[in-house]
Amino acid sequence: MIKKISKILFIGVFAVLTSSCTSELDIPSEASLSATAELANEDVDKLLTGLYKKLRHPNNYGYFAIMNTEIMGDNYKPVKFQWPQVQNIFENTVPPGDILLSYFYADFYAGIDRSNTILKVSTANEAQKGAARYARALSYLRLYDMFERVPLIDENYDRKPIAPSSKEDVLNFIVEDLKYSKANNVSFNILNLIDNQKTPTKEAATALLARIYKLQGNKVAAAIEAEEVIETGKFSLAVNPLERDSEVIFMFKGTKAETAGSWGWIMSPESRTWNNFGAADDLTALVKGEDTRRILFDFDGKVANKGYIYSKKYKTEDNSDLLVSRIAEMYLISAEAGNTNRLNELQLARKSSLTLAEERRLEMSFEWTRWEELKLTGETSYVLPYPTRAVDSNPLLK
């Protein structure tokens, strides 16, 4: 963890819109591949591997790019802020010149640039394009969560200054990408569970589409997509929420070799001398009686940890999985449209009797959706400012 103690002021600054707008993508242990050439399918797959890596690990401090909206919300109880930049995120007071802010903006656009590069490969098949558009949709969702109004860059972008689109148009753009992905991605194969959870499938696109419809306020359309995923029978609520293989629709698998999943470490007592977060008191208070989600929190260590209760949802050795979609979210989305039987099924599995809003907060805690919920319910209207360097490079952001 020595790398984490490096002073953040020494981090280099990204250019905007991306740190490296190029037609070549860096693939670990593979030669770079030009998107202007006619590539074999396996070469396009290598480009997709590079794209997935960028989304999972945006930069050397990518854990905060992943965690930032959860930090902005109310699920964390801070133990220590090693960096003022992290405290600013928690307090919703991020200045435009913040170095982490410039990373958040530029690095998700770098992922979008990689998606667009793949979409321009003439020999890419429809499934590969569907995977690239899923990745682009997910990148835009992260930007939407932070900034709401952002420039929409597709594969035809001419790299000239471009104004931000309305937040409605951003969501509509995401919807169109996900519709394409749903129509063209391969179907989830439960006989190859782990591999299918790591790549965008038809079911992954459908699940994310359900979330976007919910963000648009269209609960009926959201429930239709959610029910479609549930009714495949390919996913089920786990008896033990820590053993969630049956629940995961899509995730980026943690990799210790790349130190690409540090949020579990940051959410554990192991990082208490650095930037460190326990679970919020009003969140852990939702765990009552025999609720099976009790196992997700270190209640037994509260005294030893000076009153803090830590989450145990993720591994703590720089190999946390990056959860994107689980079947539990589909049950909640369906219930929000009035399908009370889905809430009953979830509560039966979890041995719980909370309100729907409470179930959502507890079930989806630390899965990067809480900020969206707070915005939907009007509990916050905070939006991150555009980074100073982004505005300097693209005056239309003003």
Of all residues in the chain, the percent with pLDDT exceeding 70 is: 90
* Res 124 pLDDT > 80: yes
More confident residue, 194 or 154: 154
* Res 160 pLDDT > 60: yes
* Res 34 pLDDT > 90: no
Confidence of residue 351 (pLDDT cuts 50, 70, 90): very high
The stretch 6-35 carries a mean pLDDT of: 35
Please report the pLDDT score of residue 297 as a whole number. 98
Please report the pLDDT score of residue 33 as a whole number. 54
What is d(CA 244, CA 313) in angstroms, rounded to the nearest whole number? 10
pTM as predicted = 0.91
Q: How many CA atoms lie within 13 A of 378 on its CB side?
A: 1
What is d(CA 64, CA 347) in angstroms, rounded to the nearest whole number? 32
Please report the pLDDT score of residue 31 as a whole number. 33
Confidence of residue 398 (pLDDT cuts 50, 70, 90): confident
What is d(CA 130, CA 126) in angstroms, rounded to the nearest whole number? 6
Q: Which CATH number fits domain 2-19+50-397: 3.40.50.10240, 1.25.40.390, 3.30.390.30, 3.40.50.2300?
A: 1.25.40.390
Please report the pLDDT score of residue 256 as a whole number. 72
Confidence of residue 12 (pLDDT cuts 50, 70, 90): very low
What pLDDT digit, counting tens, does each position of 245-278 carry? 999 999 998 877 776 789 999 999 999 999 999 9
Residue type present at position 385 = P
Please report the pLDDT score of residue 69 as a whole number. 96
The stretch 16-36 carries a mean pLDDT of: 39
* Res 37 pLDDT > 70: no
What is d(CA 41, CA 380) in angstroms, rounded to the nearest whole number? 45
Tell me what the pLDDT averaged over the chain comes to: 90
Confidence of residue 38 (pLDDT cuts 50, 70, 90): confident
* Res 135 pLDDT > 80: yes
Cα 246 from chain centroid? 20
* Res 306 pLDDT > 70: yes
Domain ranges of the chain: 2-19+50-397
* Res 171 pLDDT > 60: yes
What pLDDT digit, counting tens, does each position of 187-227 carry? 999 999 989 999 999 999 999 999 999 999 999 999 999 99
Confidence of residue 22 (pLDDT cuts 50, 70, 90): very low
> For tokens 């991150």, what's the residue?
384
Confidence of residue 6 (pLDDT cuts 50, 70, 90): very low
Positive or negative CA dihedral for 365, 369, 370, 371? positive
The stretch 130-154 carries a mean pLDDT of: 98
Please report the pLDDT score of residue 397 as a whole number. 92
Q: Terminal CA-to-CA distance of the chain, rounded, Å?
A: 39
What is d(CA 78, CA 85) in angstroms, rounded to the nearest whole number? 13
What pLDDT digit, counting tens, does each position of 57-115 carry? 888 788 899 999 999 999 999 999 999 999 999 999 999 999 999 999 999 999 999 99
Confidence of residue 319 (pLDDT cuts 50, 70, 90): confident
Please report the pLDDT score of residue 261 as a whole number. 84
Please report the pLDDT score of residue 19 as a whole number. 37
- Phi and psi at residue 49, in whole multiples of 5°? -60, -40
* Res 26 pLDDT > 60: no
